[in-house]
Amino acid sequence: MADDEEPAIRLLIVDDHEVVALGLRSLIEDEPGITVVGIVGSAAEAVTSARRLKPDVALVDFRLPDGTGADATRLIGQLDPAPQVVMITSVADRRVLALALEAGCCGFCRRTPIVPTWWPLSGRRPTTTPTSPATCSNT
């Protein structure tokens, strides 16, 4: 790295759905300036991995098998240094947003389904229209 280059942002992905976590890594790892330092699937692993890996940012799913992303965020926020946390979820209602903000998240990203634009082998047209893969906002 040259002297004038910024160090890469170290990112920890926390999602219990392996396909989602690997898909996020695939999308993110090609971005210049971002390095995925770990992928874990539970709130407990998020805290221990954040302590060990010292990411700058944690991308945390709201629904985890051993708690919520808000639970993990609250504990991650007690670390020194504490990474910034961006909550990602398909459950985007006001209650979830409020819990994420109260826990200390700096951002919120709503994960929405992607409907394929190709037609199935049956030749029938899809009955739904494609949607954006994610709607994100800073808080």
pLDDT per residue over 19-73, tens digit each? Answer: 999 999 998 888 899 999 999 999 999 999 999 999 999 999 999 999 999 999 9
The one-letter amino acid code at 61 reads: D
Q: Are the C-beta atoms of 34 and 62 separated by less than 8 Å?
A: no
Where are the chain's structural domains? 9-138
Asked whether the predicted pLDDT for residue 4 surpasses 90, the reply is no
Q: How far apart are the first and last CA of the chain?
A: 32
Provide mean pLDDT across the span 81-108.
Answer: 90
**CATH code at 9-138:** 3.40.50.2300
Q: Which helix (H) or strand (E) holds 38?
A: strand 34-40
